């Protein structure tokens, strides 16, 4: 067996201890300078490069680092920065952050660019905006700086860029011009970057075009061809070798074109790309390298070498072994840094995990065919990891259609609920969490470390809940929440209360900007042994006469934000979780909680990228899993749900079919585009499209919110409208939160008097 080359698409960048996050936060507060922040960034890059070098990775990426998001980096690189951010007259770094999360200060008041879900991951990018005046041209030199920085450390990297096709595909067009109008300028800019990289000494450039794994229309295909028909030659003229890197699926719609365009390397995903092998059978360019994405960049399970070697063997039937490079299936950004940072889990468990750094070893093991490593891996996979939970398996087997059907029908329940709650028109509420101040986090940490007792912790949280309820009453909100002070994370909290989950200490993964999540790991069959939220909700309800929402996370979101098992289906895992949450819903109800919100923030997350698979592969079990959770409640119990982070326009019918009574959505960052879709399907669920963006500290004025509400009631029957922020408030400061909510309540009141 020949020793093959190895390649990595991208590496985590937030820091093993989230150093980048903390440094950014200090920078935002003015506690450290831009230079100091830059130094932390450099440290993060150095760490990643050196780790990959030590482990023996042949092709190590650079420019995969970002202070916020690589798409936003690309926009700045290409000069695609809306004038309203430039006009602020801030430093380059501050302008960048202004576009990322908004700016409100001495120099002006601008909202952030919209944030969108990055394909089928839990990472989010900033949507670039092009209008008819946008002059797309090379403005920055980040790829060259990063390349030179690595080189100064003695590491020759492969500069990685997001390609022009994907960039133009993801962008929003505000004027008449469309992607095709920017192709020429984009080719010019990428060719110039190539020239600079080649001059700096680079031999490869890696261009990522994940948008090719989506359904590609004839027009889009023409656009892709137009870009690369000229760009590949221009880059070759600089002396660079060009790798076209794809991931998150297969490129069935353009494979023919890709193999004909003269790329020196083609990166295909053999983990999520159902048809990648089939495509390879249709031919592969004789002199190109195949970057075979065989190590899963999205999940944390150790690779089964026997299985991977079989895959590599079938690839080598089609491409000569010496031209196969062993690669990750996507960037390792989507997994944590290293298993070595986990001190609490036993090695019996940790042995089954491979995070980013361990995946480097897997790449090298697979490329070298190391027999000792193969033997150890074989022994591991021959063992029994987890045994089925009989009760859970039985309960699942006994489910019938009635378990998924709530009665009476929604419109009949609505009448009952109107009588019970007697809420004003345009009822106001929040999404659940209130600011998680340093004090709140400190109490949780102290409890976890045992420095305060359970009683002290409960007391602390009860005080916070009481304070939060009083605050909401004084602000004048109609439906209250307890504030979620006991939760670090909406998924981890539930995972830690259910059996079947495993938790890490440091396995952070970037979600957006510097925000990270620590997804729990589904280890075995999931079940609930005791109530998880009832005490907090009951206490909160005892503090007020207004209804307080019980707050749960739905099964699909819990699963989508966990690292799932690979030995049973996602459907089975979702239904197991749904049964556990159903028990919690019924317990809340029997303890006097009359409104229960079951968040499905991440429902859209795992929607297959190709439309043709949406129902068969996903919605046909995801929607029923949600229905299972609430189908058994009384007619007068009001079920809310909440969704955020992405566009829902195309699945609003399915969302209506979840059969909730009320849904709150993130909407403000995407300019309320959702409303047209809701109108088009005559959306039946009552709906609260978020009236302001909670990802930014800026306070929306009353007039601004009234303006948004007018847009909402122009499209949705006003009787069905709720008034609420976009999402939970846990990342916000207390003052801005109070002021924003006061303005929200004031706006609702003003509108009530105007239109009712």
Contact 40, 16 (CB under 8 A): no
Residue 18 annotated in ligand binding: yes
Shortest spacing between CB 690 and Zn ion, in angstroms: 8
Active site residues: 695
Residue 605 annotated in ligand binding: yes
730 touches ligand GLN by CB under 6 A: yes
CB atoms within 10 A of CB 674: 24
Per CB under 5 A, the segment of 361-369, 457-465, 555-563, 638-646 that binds Zn ion is 638-646
Instruction: Identify whether 604 is preceded by a cis peptide bond (ω within 30 of 0).
Output: no
Rounded-to-integer distance, Cα 225 and Cα 212, Å: 11
| Positive or negative: CA dihedral 243, 208, 46, 342 | negative
- Return contacts of 582-585, CB within 8 angstroms, 24+ apart: 582/628, 582/629, 582/630, 582/632, 583/528, 584/528, 584/531, 584/532, 584/533, 584/534, 584/552, 585/550, 585/552, 585/629, 585/630, 585/632, 585/633
Shortest spacing between CB 434 and ligand GLN, in angstroms: 8
Among 11, 76, 728, 748, binds ligand GLN (CB under 6 A): 728
Shortest spacing between CB 381 and Zn ion, in angstroms: 39
522 touches Zn ion by CB under 5 A: no
Residue 116 annotated in ligand binding: no
Q: Any idea how long the chain is?
A: 756
Kindly provide the b/e burial profile for residues 173-199, where b requires at least 16 CB atoms within 10 angstroms of the residue's own CB.
beeeeebebbbebbbbbbbebbbbbbe
Among 110, 601, 623, 747, binds Zn ion (CB under 5 A): 601
Closer to ligand GLN by Cβ: residue 99 or 490: 490
**Number of residues near ligand GLN (by CB under 6 A):** 13
Q: Dihedral of the CA atoms 644, 645, 651, 653 (nearest 10)?
A: 10
Residues 592-651 touching ligand GLN, rule: CB under 6 A, are 599, 601, 642, 644
Rounded-to-integer distance, Cα 633 and Cα 623, Å: 17
Among 88, 364, 709, 727, binds ligand GLN (CB under 6 A): 727
Residues 724-753 touching Zn ion, rule: CB under 5 A, are 727
Q: Which does 433 bind (CB under 5 to 8 A by kind): ligand GLN, Zn ion, none?
A: ligand GLN
Rounded-to-integer distance, Cα 558 and Cα 629, Å: 13
Shortest spacing between CB 729 and ligand GLN, in angstroms: 7
Shortest spacing between CB 306 and ligand GLN, in angstroms: 39
Nearest of 577, 474, 560 to residue 525 by alpha carbon: 577
Closer to ligand GLN by Cβ: residue 364 or 551: 551
Closer to Zn ion by Cβ: residue 59 or 727: 727
Residue 174 annotated in ligand binding: no
Closer to ligand GLN by Cβ: residue 589 or 599: 599
Per CB under 6 A, the segment of 172-180, 220-228, 682-690, 723-731 that binds ligand GLN is 723-731
Cβ neighbors of 113 (< 8 A, separation 6 or more) are 72, 82, 99, 100, 126, 127, 128, 129
Per CB under 6 A, the segment of 121-129, 154-162, 232-240, 425-433 that binds ligand GLN is 425-433
Rounded-to-integer distance, Cα 285 and Cα 326, Å: 17
Residues 486-525 touching ligand GLN, rule: CB under 6 A, are 490
Closer to Zn ion by Cβ: residue 325 or 477: 477
Rounded-to-integer distance, Cα 162 and Cα 229, Å: 17
644 touches Zn ion by CB under 5 A: yes
Q: CA 302 from chain center: how many Å?
A: 22
465 touches ligand GLN by CB under 6 A: no
Which pairing describes strands 595-599 and 638-643: parallel, antiparallel, or unpaired? parallel
Q: Which does 216 bind (CB under 5 to 8 A by kind): Zn ion, ligand GLN, none?
A: none
Closer to ligand GLN by Cβ: residue 179 or 490: 490
Which pairing describes strands 158-162 and 5-7: parallel, antiparallel, or unpaired? unpaired
551 DSSP assignment = E
Shortest spacing between CB 728 and Zn ion, in angstroms: 6
């150790």: which residue's tokens?
302
Phi-psi region of 415 (alpha: psi -120 to 50; beta: other; left: phi over 0): alpha
Shortest spacing between CB 92 and Zn ion, in angstroms: 31
Closer to Zn ion by Cβ: residue 500 or 519: 519
CB burial of residue 662 (10 Å; 0-12, 13-18, 19+)? buried
CB burial of residue 372 (10 Å; 0-12, 13-18, 19+)? exposed
Closer to ligand GLN by Cβ: residue 699 or 727: 727
């050196």: which residue's tokens?
50
Shortest spacing between CB 696 and ligand GLN, in angstroms: 15
Contact 6, 59 (CB under 8 A): yes
552 touches Zn ion by CB under 5 A: no
Per CB under 6 A, the segment of 196-204, 428-436, 632-640, 647-655 that binds ligand GLN is 428-436
Among 431, 581, 628, 744, binds ligand GLN (CB under 6 A): 431
Contact 506, 16 (CB under 8 A): yes
Residue 122 annotated in ligand binding: yes
Residue 727 annotated in ligand binding: yes
Contact 64, 10 (CB under 8 A): yes
Q: Which does 489 bind (CB under 5 to 8 A by kind): ligand GLN, Zn ion, none?
A: none
Residue 516 annotated in ligand binding: yes
Q: Which does 502 bind (CB under 5 to 8 A by kind): ligand GLN, Zn ion, none?
A: none
> Which positions from 533 to 572 touch ligand GLN by CB under 6 A, shown as an x/- string?
------------------x---------------------
Rounded-to-integer distance, Cα 725 and Cα 33, Å: 32
Binding site for L-methionine, by residue number, is 431-433, 484, 599
Binding site for L-homocysteine, by residue number, is 431-433, 484, 599
Binding site for Zn(2+), by residue number, is 642, 644, 666, 727
Binding site for 5-methyltetrahydropteroyltri-L-glutamate, by residue number, is 18-21, 117, 122, 515-516, 561, 605
Binding site, by residue number, is 18-21, 117, 122, 431-433, 484, 515-516, 561, 599, 605, 642, 644, 666, 727
Contact positions toward ligand GLN, by CB under 6 A? Answer: 431-433, 484, 490, 551, 599, 601, 642, 644, 727-728, 730
Contact positions toward Zn ion, by CB under 5 A? Answer: 601, 644, 727
């Amino acid at each position: 067996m020949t020793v093959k080359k190895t390649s990595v698409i991208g590496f985590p960048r937030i820091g093993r201890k989230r150093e980048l996050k903390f440094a950014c936060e200090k920078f935002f507060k003015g506690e450290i300078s831009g230079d100091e922040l830059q130094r932390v960034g450099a440290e993060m890059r150095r760490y990643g490069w050196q780790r990959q070098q030590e482990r023996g990775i042949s092709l190590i990426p650079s420019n995969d680092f970002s202070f916020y998001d690589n798409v936003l980096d690309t926009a700045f690189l290409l000069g695609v920065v809306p004038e309203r951010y430039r006009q602020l007259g801030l430093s380059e770094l501050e302008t960048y952050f202004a576009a990322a999360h908004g700016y409100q200060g001495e120099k002006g008041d601008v909202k952030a660019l919209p944030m969108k879900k990055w394909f089928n991951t839990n990472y989010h990018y900033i949507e670039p905006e092009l209008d008819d005046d946008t002059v797309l041209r090379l403005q920055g030199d980040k790829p060259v700086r990063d390349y030179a920085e690595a080189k100064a450390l003695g590491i020759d990297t492969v500069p990685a860029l997001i390609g022009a096709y994907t960039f133009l595909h993801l962008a929003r067009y505000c004027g008449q011009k469309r992607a095709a109008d920017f192709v020429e300028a984009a080719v010019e800019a990428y060719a110039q970057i190539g020239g600079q990289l080649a001059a700096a000494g680079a031999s490869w450039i890696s261009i990522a075009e994940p948008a090719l794994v989506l359904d590609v229309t004839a027009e889009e295909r023409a656009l892709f061809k137009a870009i690369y028909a000229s760009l590949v030659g221009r880059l070759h003229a600089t002396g660079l070798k060009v790798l076209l890197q794809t991931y998150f699926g297969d490129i069935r719609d353009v494979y023919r074109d890709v193999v004909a365009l003269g790329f020196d390397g083609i990166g295909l995903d053999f983990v999520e790309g159902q048809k990648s092998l089939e495509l390879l059978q249709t031919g592969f360019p004789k002199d190109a390298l195949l970057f075979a994405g065989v190590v899963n960049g999205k999940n944390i399970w150790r690779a089964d070498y026997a299985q991977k070697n079989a895959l590599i063997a079938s690839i080598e039937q089609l491409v000569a072994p010496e031209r196969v490079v062993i690669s990750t299936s996507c960037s390792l950004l989507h997994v944590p840094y290293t298993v070595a940072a986990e001190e609490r889990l036993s090695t019996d468990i940790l042995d089954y995990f491979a995070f980013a750094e361990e995946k480097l070893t897997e790449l090298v093991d697979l490329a070298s065919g190391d027999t000792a490593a193969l033997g150890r891996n074989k022994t591991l996979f021959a063992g029994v990891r987890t045994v089925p939970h009989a009760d859970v398996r039985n309960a699942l087997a006994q489910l019938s259609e009635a378990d998924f059907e709530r009665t009476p029908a929604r419109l009949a329940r609505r009448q009952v609920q109107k009588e019970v709650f007697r809420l004003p028109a345009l009822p106001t509420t929040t999404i659940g969490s209130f600011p998680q101040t340093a004090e709140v986090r400190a109490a949780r940490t102290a409890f976890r470390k045992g420095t305060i007792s359970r009683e002290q912790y409960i007391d602390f949280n009860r005080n916070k809940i009481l304070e939060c309820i009083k605050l909401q009453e004084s602000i004048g909100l109609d439906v209250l929440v307890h504030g979620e002070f006991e939760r670090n994370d909406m998924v981890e909290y539930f995972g830690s209360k259910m059996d079947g989950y495993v938790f890490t200490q440091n396995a952070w993964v970037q979600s957006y900007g510097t925000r990270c999540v620590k997804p729990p790991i589904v280890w075995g069959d999931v079940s609930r042994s005791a109530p998880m939220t009832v005490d907090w909700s009951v206490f909160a309800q005892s503090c007020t006469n207004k209804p307080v929402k019980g707050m749960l996370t739905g099964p699909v979101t819990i699963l989508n934000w966990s690292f799932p098992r690979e030995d049973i289906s996602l459907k089975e895992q979702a239904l197991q979780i749904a049964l556990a949450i159903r028990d919690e819903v019924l317990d809340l109800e029997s303890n006097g909680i009359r409104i229960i919100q079951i968040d499905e923030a991440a429902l859209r997350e795992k929607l297959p990228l190709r439309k043709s698979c949406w129902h068969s592969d996903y919605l046909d079990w995801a929607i029923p899993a949600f229905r299972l959770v609430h189908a058994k409640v009384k007619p007068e119990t009001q079920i809310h749900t909440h969704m955020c982070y992405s566009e829902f326009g195309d699945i609003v019918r399915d969302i209506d079919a979840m059969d909730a009574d009320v849904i709150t959505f993130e909407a403000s960052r995407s300019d309320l585009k959702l409303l047209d879709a809701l109108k088009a399907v005559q959306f039946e669920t009552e709906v609260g499209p978020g009236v302001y963006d909670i990802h930014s500290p800026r306070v929306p004025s009353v007039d601004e919110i009234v303006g948004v509400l007018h847009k909402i009631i122009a499209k949705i029957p006003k009787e069905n409208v709720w008034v609420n922020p976009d999402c939970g408030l846990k990342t916000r400061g207390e003052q801005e939160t109070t002021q924003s909510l006061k303005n929200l309540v004031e706006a609702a009141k003003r509108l009530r008097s105007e239109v009712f």
